Amino acid sequence: MTTSEGFVGRRLDSHTSLPPGQYLTEGFPVLSAGPTPNVSTDDWRLSVTGTSGEDTEWDMRRLLTLGVEDIRADLHCVTGWSKLSSPWRGVPLESVLAPHIAETTQHVLVHSYGGYTTNVPLADLLNGQAWLAHSFAGGPLSASHGGPVRLLIPHLYLWKSAKWVRALTLTAEPVLGFWERLGYHAYGDPWQEQRYSSD
């Protein structure tokens, strides 16, 4: 693996190897379980619901006031491809979750436009581990890759990074999402090769 001179993103020194069973791709494959929902930036909304049922709705303008970050992320899809150092912009997920976190909150169920869902432990969405990404490679995020806004959780298999995110539900107990109900791993750590619930 080489980095070009002047490379200013995250260094690859810590990635002398890929997660087990993964191969490197230079492209950016599109993987969607259904059709691409057609949601304009103006119509896009994110609703965040806490464990006692109180909720907040965000639109793009208000979301961006929470503070945008540049992110360099390695992506690992459970089908085998990995893409290193991909350039995103987005808002830390913690910013929209924080007001709704109660003592009992342990898990988040993520809902997408189109009906896709996925579950993630709350702890994996805090402290600079997860973003609401609205931009890729310097431009608006394309619909096929999850625009207007998708989740980005680089340390878990990419099926956890829900595209076209619509709602977040904070819960005390885990509730399995779309692929997790179909036998994929509830957590999905690529470095532990947690592909299926039996792994």
Q: Is the dihedral of CA 92, 141, 171, 190 positive or negative?
A: negative
Cα 192 to Cα 80, 125, 144, 177, 185, distances in angstroms: 14, 19, 29, 20, 11
- Kindly tell me which of 107 and 111 has the beta carbon lying closer to ligand MTE: 111
Q: How far apart are CA 172 and CA 159, in angstroms?
A: 22
Place of tokens 């993964």: 22
The stretch among 43-51, 82-90, 151-159, 160-168 that binds Mo ion (CB under 5 A) is 151-159
- Per CB under 5 A, does 131 bind Mo ion? no
As measured in angstroms, the least distance from the Cβ of 31 to Mo ion is 5
The stretch among 18-26, 130-138, 141-149, 156-164 that binds Mo ion (CB under 5 A) is 156-164
Residues that bind ligand MTE in the complex, under the rule CB under 6 A: 28-33, 77, 112, 114, 116, 145-146, 158-159, 161-164
Q: How far apart are CA 34 and CA 134, in angstroms?
A: 21
- The interface partner of residue 182, options being ligand MTE, Mo ion, none and the CB cut-off 5 to 8 Å by kind, is none
